[in-house]
Structure 1
Amino acid sequence: MPSTSLPIPTVLQPDEARRYLVGQLGLARPLFPPGARGVRALLKSLRCIQLDPLDVIGTNADLVALARVEGIARGDVYRHLLPGHAFEHFAKERCLLPASAFPYYRERAAQAPWWRLEERLKRIPEPVLHAVLDEVTQRGPSSSRELKDHGAVVPIDWSGWKGTARATAMALEVLWTRCQVVVCGRGPGGKVYDVPGRALPRMADARVKHTFERWALSERVEAAGLLSRASGPHWSMLSDVRTSALPDTLVAEGLLEEVTVPGSPRRYLAPLDFREREFPEPDARMRILGPLDPVLWDRGLVSVAFGFDYIWEVYKPAAQRQWGWYVCPLLHRGQLVGRLEARVREGVLQVDNLWREKGVKLDDAALDEALARHAVACGAEVARRPRARAAS
C-alpha cells in the first residue's frame, strides 16, 4: 500500500489520460525518421516492443512499428534492429529491447518467474552448457540446428505447450536467459545466437549506473506511460518490484508521480515531468494497432481513458470468442474507433470482419488509406473489406 506520507496524487481526467498516452506512446503522428533510423529511434523511445510469434498481417512487433514509422515493411523490425541495435529478453513478457539496456540485464541475468530456468538447469548438464557456449564463441552466429547435437532432454510442459526436446536448443535457452548469448537475428532455422561481444560490441561490457530494479522500474513507467500499481501483466518480470518499497521510494524522491484517473479505482505511476511534456495533436491517419501494442497493455485503463473494451481472444476456443481470433484495434484522431480481423491471402489483404464502436461513424477514406498502406507493407497487391458493422 502507498505510504500516507507520499505527495497527494495528481488527478488526470480520462480525456487527459487518453491524450497523454497517445502522445507518450508515439501514436499522435509520425515522430521518427522513415526506415531503419526510425525503427531504431522508436525502440529507444518505447523502451521495449513485445514479441509474439503469430504473423497474420505482420507480427505484433511489425504492427507496433508500422503504426508509428513510415517507409518500412513486414519483417523490417528484425532486419533493422538485429544485430547491434537490440536484443531479446523479458520486459513486458518477451520483448525486443534497445542495446543500451543490455548491461542491466547482464548484471541481473534476469528471468521471467514463469520461465522455469531451474527446471532447465536440472535437465542440462553443465558440460553441455560449456560446450554449446564454446561452439557459438568459435563459429559465430548460429542457430541451434547448426550446432553439435547433444542428444535429447525431457521437454518442459506448460499446460500442454511443449518446449524443446533437444539438449542443444535448451542449452541455448539457458545461456540466453543468463545473457551469455543473445539473439542476433532470425533465419530459416529459427533464432540465430551469438555472444554479446560480437552482437552488441558497444554494450557487451558497458557499466551500469543504477541497480537493475531502480532502472527497470523507471523504464517500465516510461514504456507504459501510466503504470498501474495493481498487479497485472504490465508488471510481468517486475512483480517483486511492484510489492517492494521501491515505487514509494521513487515517488518520495520526486523521480515518479502518483496519478489517479476518475473512473478507475487504481493508482498509477507516471514520469515526474509528464504534465509538462508537449505532444502534437493527432493527425488524420488511421492506424492498425497490434494486439500487444503498449497503449493496450492495461485493459482497465483503456476502458476508462478510451471508452474501449479490449480483449485479445487468440487463445480462446472459437465458440467463446466475442470478436475473432486475431483482432486489431483501429486508432483514429486519438480515439479507438473500431477493430478488424484480416489475413493476407493470395496477394490480397482481406478484411474478414470489421466493427465500428457504438456511436462512431468510421472515416471510410482514412480506413481505406490505412488498409492500402498495410497491404503494401505486407506485399499484397490490394486490400478488400466489408462494410463496418456496429459493435454489439
Structure 2
Amino acid sequence: MTHHLSRDEARRIAVRAQLLDAQRPGDVVEVAEQLGWIKIDPTAAITTSEHAILWARIGWGYEPGQLQKAVEVDRQLFEFDGTLRPMSVLGPLLTVSRHRRLYADTGTWLAANERFGRDVISRLRAEGPMPASAIPDTSQVQRSSESGWYGANQVPRMLEVLSRLGEVAVVGRQGRLRVWDVVERAYPDGVPDLPLDEAERLLAERRLQGLGIAKKSAMSPVGTAGEPVTIEGLPGTYRVDSEALAALDEDEGGRVAILNPYDVSLYDRRRLRDLFGFEYKVEQFVPKAQRVYGYFAHPVLVGDRFMGLLDAEHDRKREVLRVNALHELEQFEPEELEMVHAEIRDLGGWLGVPVVGLGD
C-alpha cells in the first residue's frame, strides 16, 4: 500500500524524526539513537558541530562533558568515520565495513603498503591505544594529497583506511587528536557478525528512522526501508518510517532551532529543497567577496520552515557571541522574531557569554 501525504505532513514527520519539534530529548544517547549519527567537525564559528547538534536538540540540559562520558566512559557511543554513533548499530556497521570495496587507487595504495598496515596493527596490539603521531611511518609507497587533507606522513591515512575495513577504531580523543586501538579491544565482546544483506537492511532502517521520510539516493541511502509514500506536488515515491507515520497525529508543534551547517538534517540538499523549499550552500570555502550569507551561516528553523540564516561567531578573545547578521529568507512575524532572538540569547547563555549585535 502506498500512502499519500501533503507536503506539510511530510515536513512535520521530518522535523519530528530529527528531534527538532517541541518535545526535546533528554540526553546524548537518546539523540544518537534516534538520529543514527552525529557529525564531528572542528569548525567552531559558534561551537563544534557535535556540540551544536546536541544543543539544538537538548538545549540547556546538555553539557559537553556528557558527550565525552558517553563515548569514553560509558561506551554507549563510538566514533566512526568522522561521526559518533550509538552502540546499537555497531554490529551491522562492522559487517558492512568488512565487506567494503575500496576505491581503486586506495586499494592499490593499501596493497602496496601491506607490510606498513601490519606494522600499524602490530604496534597498537602490542602497546595499546595511541594517537597517530606515536606510530612510525614505515610505508613502502607514499601517496600525495592534492586536497591538502593529509600531509606527507602516511600513518593517519592508513589508520582511516584500516578503520573503514573494521581493523582499528578510535577509542577516544586527546583534545582534537584521535586515539586509536585494535577493534578487539575497542569494542565490547559479543558484537554479532551478521549476514551482509541483513546488516544493510538494518542500517537502511536506522537511516530512515533518523530522517522520518526520504527518497532513496546517495545522500539518503534508505533502500526499501519503511513504507512507500507519495507527497503532494513532488514526483516519485518516497519511503516513510512506519512509526513516524503512525505518530503523525501526535504532533506537538514546532519551535526554533539553530542548526550547525553539518547537521544531519541538512545533509541531503535535494530533500531540503523538495520538502522545505530551502536551497542551502555552506559558504565556508567560497571566496569572501562572493559570500552572500557569511562564512558559516547557521540555518534557522521555525516550526517546519527554514526562515533565516544566522551569521554569528563566538569571539573567544572578547568573550561574546557576535551576531554579524540575521538574514531573513522569509519575513519573520513579530512573535517569530522574538522567539528567534530568544533562542540566540539562550545559545549565548549556554556558551557562557553575552550576545552582541542582535539589534533589539
Instruction: Work out whether the TM-score is over 0.5.
Output: yes
Q: Can you list the C-alpha shifts for 1:321-377, whole angstroms capped at 9, x where unaligned? A: 332220111123343221101111121111111112323236344233322332243
Aligned equivalent of 1:354: 326
- Give the whole-Å Cα distance in 2 for the aligned partners of 1:120 and 1:85: 34
Pair 75,52 (structure 1): closer, same or farther in 2 beyond 3 Å: farther
Specify whether residues 62 and 115 from structure 1 end up closer, same or farther in structure 2 by C-alpha distance, changes over 3 A only: farther
CA–CA distance in 1 between the matches of 2:83 and 2:292?
A: 28
Unaligned runs of 5+ in 2: none
Residue 72 of structure 1 pairs with residue 43 of structure 2: no
Partner amino acid, structure 2, of 1:12: L
Matched, 1:281 2:270: no
Aligned position for 2:168: 181
* AA matched with 1:200: Y
- Aligned mate of 2:339, from 333, 342, 366: 366
* CA shift in 2, pair 1:348/1:224, >3 Å: same
3-state SS in 2 of match to 1:161: coil
Question: Residue 135 of structure 1 aligns to a residue in which SS?
Answer: helix
SS of alignment partner, residue 301 of structure 2: strand
Change (3 A) 1:87 1:211: same
Inter-partner Cα distance in structure 1 for 2:175 and 2:140: 22
Match of 1:11 in 2: 4
Change (3 A) 1:10 1:140: same
Paired with 2:116 and 2:203, the residues of 1 have a C-alpha distance of: 32
C-alpha separation in 1, matches of 2:44 and 2:28: 19
Residue of structure 1 aligned with 2:289, choices 297, 316, 319: 319
Counterpart amino acid of residue 11 in structure 1? H
Residues 234 and 274, structure 2, Cα contact 8 Å, conserved in 1: yes
Alignment equivalent of 1:140, drawn from 128, 137, 142: 128
Map 1:267-346; keep pairs closer than 5 Å. 267-278=237-248, 279-282=250-253, 284=255, 286-345=256-315, 346=317
2:55·2:62 contact (CA, 8 Å) conserved in 1? Answer: yes
Name the Cα RMSD after superposition: 2.9
Match of 1:208 in 2: 194
Question: d(CA) in 2 for partners of 1:206 and 1:306?
Answer: 39
Q: How much has 1:13 moved relative to structure 2?
A: 0.6
State the distance in 2 between where 1:113 and 1:386 align.
48
Q: Secondary structure at the match of 2:58?
A: coil
Paired residue for 2:159, among 163, 167, 172? Answer: 172
Residue 228 of structure 2 is aligned with which of 258, 262, 267? 258
CA deviation map 1:207-251 (0-9, x unaligned): 43762222222222222222213x44333xxxxxx8xxxx4xx4x
AA at the equivalent of 1:342 = A
- Name the CA distance, whole Å, in 2 between partners of 1:52 and 1:265: 34
**Greater mean alpha carbon deviation, residues 18-27 or residues 289-298:** 289-298
Task: Figure out how many residues of one structure are paired with residues of the other and give that number.
Answer: 352
**Residue 68 of structure 1 aligns to a residue in which SS?**
helix
> What do residues 261-284 of structure 1 show as CA deviations (whole Å, max 9, x unaligned)?
223224211123432125441355
2: CA distance, partners of 1:271 / 1:333? 20
Per the alignment, residue 215 of structure 2 pairs with 228
Residue in 2 that maps onto 1:86: 77
Residue 289 of structure 1 and its aligned partner are, at CA, apart by 0.8
| Structure 1 residue 26 corresponds to structure 2 residue 26 | no
1:105 and 1:212 in contact (8 A); partners too? yes
Judging changes above 3 Å, is the alpha-carbon distance between structure 1 residues 341 and 82 closer, same or farther for their aligned structure 2 residues?
farther
Structure 1 contact 39–81 (Cα < 8 Å) conserved: no
CA 105–376 in structure 1, closer or farther in 2 if over 3 Å, else same: same
Gaps of 5+ in 1: 1-6, 236-241
The superposition leaves residues 33-74 of structure 1 with CA deviations (integer Å, 9 ceiling, x where unpaired) of 2xxxx1012101111123333222122222211111142245
| Deviations 1:167-197 (CA, angstroms, capped at 9, x unpaired) | 3333322321221111112214711112233
TM-score, normalization by structure 1: 0.79
Match of 1:102 in 2: 90
Q: Amino acid of the residue matched to residue 375 of structure 1?
A: G
1:40 counterpart (19, 29, 45)? 29
Normalised to the residue count of structure 2, the TM-score between the two structures is 0.85
Alignment map for 1:150-165 (pairs within 5 Å)? 150=138, 154-158=142-146, 160-165=147-152
Q: Distance in 1 between matches of 2:277 and 2:87?
A: 36
**Cross-structure match for 1:219:** 206
SS of 1:349's partner is: strand
